[in-house]
Amino acid sequence: MEAEEFRLVREALRAFAADHRCDAAEVGQAERTTAQKALDGLGLGELRRSTPPLASAQECALLAEEYGRQPLATSFLGTVLLAPEVLRLLAAAGRHAPYGSRPTVALTRDLRFTGRDSEADHVAWDAEGAESALWIGDDGTVRALDLGGPAPTTDLLRVVREAHPGTPDSVLGRLDPEQLHAWRAWALVMVSSELVGAAASFVEQSTAYARDRSQYGRPIGSFQAVQHLLADATVAVEACASATRYAAWCLDHADPDTALAAARVAKAEVDVSAVEAVYAGMQVFGGIAQTWEHMAHLYLRRVRVGATVLTGTVDLLTALALPEPGPQVVEAP
């Protein structure tokens, strides 16, 4: 989209986040519903529905980063960015009929990418306002799952629900290997971008607190130990932001395999650096960050859970360490 148009979209999302941020862990369903309707009213669900899409991957990643900066109890990644991208890829190849339900994505119960077994135990992740969930198997099969009751999650602001196999004709289509790589890269980048936004915002808030909080007649930000913590946290945020934004660029300009490799690097970096940055911020806030009433634990929970979503650091590094498949040599008969 045009630069001015994107600026207006980003400002609209920023205004929504400021109006609907959660400063306490207890969020009623009425508040969630009201906030979700306000978010839906922005029309962001159309950003990736068409081909070519209205917004680039880099623009969507920046929006995910902006969304992550505030503790919000709405669904954005699942229903606005991840599930629509699956449907767009299917529609671009003419592999499915129009799908009227509003879906989110289905993940395994430990919030990883789904595997080959469509009957396995799954949950609908980021499911506020969703009507179904899309299961994307290792072979590219896309199936619609029905939603059940709530499922437990450490992230108090994220709605996770049970997901169950639907009717026998619930298969919507199949992504080819390149599309599957493209979607997995997309998912890793969008989740990483939200975590970058959360970590960056929390470090900024802890820095502002260090300027205002005084001990022994001096702001704690003047103490070298606190300065070291915040400096290290800032470097950690910059590291994961750089890796994630490069991965978003690859989604727009590189082939799916290259984009997936960059996305894996970004998620592996974010899983470590974003968590370390939030831990540093927690130390700067001190005892107040350990209370239920303070918003610090909402950021900590989101980043800690996000570091396990889709795939973990060990699996990412293992995949990155595997050699690239070489050309097949066919001997003459």
**Residues 172-209: pLDDT tens digits?**
889 999 999 999 999 999 999 999 999 999 999 999 99
In a domain, 210, yes or no: yes
Assess whether 221 and 109 both reside in one domain.
no
Assess whether 171 and 194 both reside in one domain.
no
Assess whether 226 and 97 both reside in one domain.
no
Boundary (domain end) residue, out of 175, 204, 225: 175
In a domain, 34, yes or no: yes
Please give the average per-residue pLDDT across 259-281, as a whole number. Answer: 95
Assess whether 114 and 33 both reside in one domain.
yes
Contact present, 66 and 81 (Cβ < 8 Å): no
In a domain, 289, yes or no: yes
In a domain, 316, yes or no: yes
| Helix pair angle (177-212, 296-306), 10° resolution | 150
Residue with tokens 């607190």: 209
pLDDT at residue 326 tops 80? no
Reported as a pLDDT band with limits 50, 70 and 90, residue 171 is: confident
Q: What is residue 332's predicted lDDT score, i.e. its pLDDT? A: 45
Number of domains in the chain: 2
Assess whether 95 and 199 both reside in one domain.
no
Mean pLDDT score of the chain: 89
Reported as a pLDDT band with limits 50, 70 and 90, residue 238 is: very high
Q: What is residue 95's predicted lDDT score, i.e. its pLDDT? A: 61
In a domain, 90, yes or no: yes
Assess whether 159 and 26 both reside in one domain.
yes
Boundary (domain end) residue, out of 151, 175, 199: 175
Tens digits of residue pLDDT in 53-63: 899 999 999 99
C-alpha–C-alpha distance, residues 321 and 125, integer Å: 29
Buried b (16+ CB within 10 A) or exposed e, 131-148: ebbbbbbeebbbbbbbbe
CATH of residue 284's domain is: 1.20.140.10
Strand ranges in 82-136 using DSSP code E only, listed in sequence order:
103-108, 122-125, 132-136
Q: What is residue 330's predicted lDDT score, i.e. its pLDDT? A: 41
CB atoms within 10 A of CB 168: 6
Reported as a pLDDT band with limits 50, 70 and 90, residue 168 is: low
Q: What is residue 325's predicted lDDT score, i.e. its pLDDT? A: 52
Assess whether 120 and 109 both reside in one domain.
yes
In a domain, 16, yes or no: yes
Q: What is residue 120's predicted lDDT score, i.e. its pLDDT? A: 72
Please give the average per-residue pLDDT across 223-236, as a whole number. Answer: 92
Tens digits of residue pLDDT in 6-25: 999 999 999 999 999 988 77
Reported as a pLDDT band with limits 50, 70 and 90, residue 301 is: very high
Assess whether 182 and 213 both reside in one domain.
yes
Boundary (domain end) residue, out of 141, 156, 175: 175
Tens digits of residue pLDDT in 43-82: 998 898 888 889 999 999 999 999 999 999 999 999 999 9
Q: What is residue 34's predicted lDDT score, i.e. its pLDDT? A: 93
In a domain, 100, yes or no: yes
Assess whether 280 and 268 both reside in one domain.
yes
Assess whether 26 and 168 both reside in one domain.
yes
Q: Is the link from the previous residue into 52 a cis peptide, with omega within 30 of 0?
A: yes
Assess whether 109 and 256 both reside in one domain.
no
In a domain, 333, yes or no: no
**What is the domain range of residue 9?**
3-59+73-175
Assess whether 36 and 120 both reside in one domain.
yes
Q: What is residue 333's predicted lDDT score, i.e. its pLDDT? A: 44
